[in-house]
Amino acid sequence: MRSVRGVVLEQALLTVRDGEQPAFEAAFAEARAIIAGMPGFRRLSLSRCLERRTGYLLLVEWDRLEDHTEGFRGSVEYERWRQLLHHFYDPFPVVEHFETVLTA
């Protein structure tokens, strides 16, 4: 077994109010340019759940935890991100961060 480190993976399970999925996806398409321009950002994926039409999985890769928690969340640009996206969530998502231990 080999351990792999270096990238911080942010994970958020998003529940979007029923009926607002198309508007959410359109807003996210605009919002992704905001986060993609932040220092330490590597990439993101937004996936739609197949079992729950209101469910989404957001995965964002960062160089360091602080790039997300301090850099992005403390930025002026984060206010625009919030305006675009936060009103779609019910309940508000829990965001957690992970570090790769093993891969196959």
Q: Which domains does the chain have, with CATH numbers?
A: 11-98 (3.30.70.100)
For 38, 40, 95, the CA distances from 13, given in Å and listed in that order, are: 21, 22, 8
Q: Is 69 in a helix, a strand, or coil?
A: helix
Omega prior to 91 cis, within 30 of 0 = yes
Predicted local confidence at residue 17, as pLDDT: 98
C-alpha span between 14 and 49 (Å, rounded): 10
pLDDT tens track for 27-37: 999 999 999 99
H-state helical runs in 19-100 = 21-36, 65-66, 76-85
Q: What is the pTM of this model?
A: 0.92
Q: What are the beta bridge partners of residue 44? A: 60
pLDDT at 21 over 80: yes
